[in-house]
A and B are shown apart, each in its own frame.
Chain A
Amino acid sequence: MGYVAVTAGEEIIERAADLFEKQRLDGDAETLSVVQLEGQLERLTAQAASEGGLYAPRLAALAVKQAQGDTVEASFLLRAYRSTLERWDETVTVDHGELFATRRVSPAYKDVPGGQLLGPTKDYTQRLLDFDLEAEDGREGEPDDPTAEWDVADEDPETVTNVMAILREEGLVEEPAAVGETEPSDTTRTPVTHPAGRDEVLQELARGETGALTALGYSALRGYGQVHPTLAEVRVGRLPVKIEHPYTGEVVTVTDVEVSESEAVVPVYAKRDDPQFAFGYGLTFGRNERKAIAMTILDASIQLDGRDEPAENPEFVLDVIDGMDSFGFIEHLKLPHYVTFQSILDRIRSIRERTLEGDGGANSGSDPAPTEVETDD
């Protein structure tokens, strides 16, 4: 004896998963390769890597393919995988001056040492649909390289001086309180409790969902907050990853990661006698300037530790910023809720019965306000 239904439940799950997979394969188009995704939809894979907190471009591409382009689902796959990996070591703190920049713009100054490097960007072009791209499909041979005719001098690139360094030299920037020489916390291994340290805040922001960061960062600019920063610079490039060699103890570079970085000053003066700019920082895996800038705004806002504006309340920001948490809980509403709903029905019927009978305790019958029953599950 047993439940036939138990087996049926599992069969149904499998069939639903099969149908989802079939969606990807439906139609006449050739299947996308992971290599194509990694190379041609880098923004998408970078977002998955950033929100997944795992820098592994090929795996990120695989996750995007498996999730059929859903970035939160893709980063969820990466996180679930990441949590089964052993944490070997901590990297040595790296000077961000070592970033090999492919793009650097400084809105704060017209001329900066090293110059403005626009790099690869669409920022300054008109957003017109390029119908030529459609004609690209199925064309024979390699696509034309638009930079083939360029005459690029083969010399070492100039060193770009960090704009913040200039401001710091002048003593214009208030440094955030140092975390100290203790080991950095790891919010994937230790739960965040409030008040959260700045290292924890930055980690959570760096893994936060791009849309959520953008919305909350925008809220500060839109008037729900005091922070309207001046970006010292926005940079994209490759940052070396260094560890201490386990045998020799020397610092060695093992690889590099592509990151987007943003730094800003905010004209909010902490001290009256010595006015200094407040400072905000943003760093994210891959090319995602929007997220890096939004993170900068939120870092600066959270340091104000206000309670009135959403973006300045660290607890609020950290509670809602994580894509894994918000996606999971929003979508869990699809699960059956008939037990709790029955409980709600019991309450509302009880109150209605009493109200209609006219002996409802206090102000029965006179209050037309809708009945709200609590369950919040």
Chain B
Amino acid sequence: MTETDRPETTPTDAVDSALESLSDDGLEGYNYAYLDEHTKREVRRSILKAIAVPGHQVPYASRPMPLARGWGTGGIQASLSILGPEDTFKVIDQGADESVNAANIRRLATETAGVETTTDTTDADVIQTRHRIPEEVVTDDQILVLQVPITDALRTVDSSDAANRRRHAHKNYGKMWVHLYENVVEWGEINIAARYPTMVAGRYLMDPSPIPRWDVPKLDDADALFVFAAGREARIYAVPPHTAVEPLAFEDRSFQVERFPDQACDVCGSTDTYLTEVDDASESAGSTGSRGGIDGSGGSRGGIDDDGGSDAAETETGSDAGDDGRRYVCNDTSFCHKRRSNPDLPRDHHLDRDDVDWGPGTTAADRGGEST
């Protein structure tokens, strides 16, 4: 029998050799993708149930992971349960691939599941993310796994999970509407920043995780599957492709995304992406020892590490600080990187179709440079 003749399946009597062949995969002494097969199956079943009932929180037996709870343990359980050895994995934390915690999660997946990793949104099969949906359109070949700290939008109005489960069962969201109304009365507008309460398929009120309002419209009628996984609170929920997702708002107090009036990314010049402010004073030179930004950027400008020294875009716009001395940079570092060499790159550049609706700046109403 030659090497190639060997049957694909391991004979049942060769348990020892089967185990031996397994031990070469990933972390020594641990099962493939860290979790045991039973657990992965349970998580997958929970995901399937969550897809079947969009926006409904499915309890699952969240396992203790070798990461602290509240640091992406739900997301990594979902990711490890759906990743296969052929898959490519991307992890972002607050929009950045290089965040230290994202790097730690990515390393766990590489070591235990042997997956390829990427920082390119369009190359990934599974993207695990904390608090952002990428700027580039996520396709129907991709799954986005969002880390969830608080599973229930109703937690804001009632701390009791038992009471909130009853409300969901009865589709009784009166208390949330009253909360929003009181917001308007007190502040003149709805004062919710991230974690914006969102109605899924007209049935379940969902906490979209603390993504900025900017990203909420991307959930609506998307091509991709969104899986929301909470480790500490042991719940999984999902927004399947092409599901209606609508942020709660009033007719005369509409839903508003974050505004960046007259601001452009200081690095790539984009005006249609989610920007974050950078305090110039915080810049320090280089990274030595373990010193670096907590986003792992080693103190480089805005969390974008430059792989070729200062380039034209940076030099041109580098001194162009905002009115109050504030500087803005793209939050999605991977897309910002692409835009630096190609400033007009559309967010659906990798698709056959044009003008794909993907949140602020891409909708028909937004097009033509109108800022939202």
Contact = CB atoms under 8 A, between A and B. Distances in A.
Interface of A: 1-6, 8-10, 12-13, 15-16, 18-19, 76, 79-80, 82-84, 86, 188-195, 315-316, 319, 324-325, 327-332, 334-347, 350-351, 354-355, 360-364, 367, 371-377
B290 A12 contact: yes
10 contacts: A3-B307, A5-B305, A9-B99, A12-B287, A191-B235, A193-B59, A327-B69, A361-B189, A375-B210, A376-B156
Contacts of B165: 193
Contact of B296 (A12, A332, A342, A363): A12
A204 B301 CA distance: 46
A372 B165 CA distance: 27
Contacts of A84: 30-31, 34, 36
Contacts of A341: 276
Given A339-B276, A376-B155, A377-B131, 11 more contacts: A4-B305, A4-B306, A9-B103, A193-B161, A329-B69, A336-B93, A339-B212, A341-B276, A362-B184, A371-B187, A374-B191
Given A76-B64, A335-B294, A336-B94, A325 B275 contact: no
A194 to B, nearest CB: 4
Contact of A338 (B64, B276, B298): B276
A325 B188 contact: no
B287 A339 contact: no
A82 B65 CA distance: 10
B2 interface: no
Looking at A3, A80, A351, the one whose CB has the most chain B CB atoms below 10 A away is A3
A348 to B, nearest CB: 9
B297 A5 contact: yes
A324 B69 contact: yes
A8 B193 contact: no
Contacts of A192: 234
A3 B97 contact: yes
For B73, B131, B303, the residue with the greatest tally of chain A CB atoms inside 10 Å of its CB is B131
Nearest to A367: B186
Looking at B36, B186, B294, B337, the one whose CB has the most chain A CB atoms below 10 A away is: B186
B95 A324 contact: no
A332 B30 contact: no
A350 B62 CA distance: 39
A374 B186 CA distance: 14
Interface in B174-202: 184-189, 191-195
B107 interface: yes
Interface of B: 30-31, 34, 36, 59-66, 68-71, 73, 93-104, 107, 119, 130-132, 149-150, 155-156, 159-162, 165, 184-189, 191-195, 209-214, 232, 234-235, 256, 258-259, 274-277, 287, 289-290, 292, 294-298, 300, 303-307, 331, 333-334, 337
A3 B258 CA distance: 28
A192 B233 CA distance: 10
Nearest to B150: A376
Contacts of B298: 5, 8, 12
Given A9-B98, A12-B290, A331-B68, A188 B31 contact: no
B184 A339 contact: no
B258 A15 contact: no
Pick the most buried of B31, B191, B307: most chain A CB atoms within 10 A of its CB.
Answer: B191
Contacts of A372: 191
Nearest to B306: A4
Contacts of A9: 98-100, 102-103, 292, 296-297
B103 A1 contact: no
B311 to A, nearest CB: 12
Contact of B94 (A13, A328, A332, A338): A338
A234 B156 CA distance: 41
B37 to A, nearest CB: 11
A80 B66 contact: yes
A15 to B, nearest CB: 4
A328 B187 contact: no
A10 to B, nearest CB: 5
Contacts of B211: 339
Given A338-B276, A376-B195, A194 B162 contact: yes
A367 B350 CA distance: 50
Contacts of A86: 36
Contact of B68 (A76, A343, A367): A76
Given A2-B307, A3-B305, A377-B210, A328 B258 contact: no
A13 B296 CA distance: 9
A343 B99 contact: no
A121 B188 CA distance: 63
A83 B35 CA distance: 8
A188 B61 contact: yes
Nearest to B292: A12
B154 to A, nearest CB: 12
Contact of A5 (B159, B160, B300): B300
Given A8-B98, A12-B290, A332-B71, A346 B31 contact: no
Contacts of B71: 328, 332, 335
Given A3-B307, A12-B298, A331-B68, A374 B193 contact: yes
A60 B36 CA distance: 23
A331 B99 CA distance: 16
A3 B337 contact: yes
A82 B159 CA distance: 31
B212 A10 contact: no
Nearest to A355: B188
B361 to A, nearest CB: 16
Contacts of A5: 97-98, 296-298, 300, 303-305, 333
A360 B149 contact: no
A236 B238 CA distance: 48
A325 B36 CA distance: 22
A364 B98 contact: no
B107 A332 contact: no
A272 B234 CA distance: 41
A82 B64 contact: yes
A315 B161 contact: yes
A13 B66 contact: no
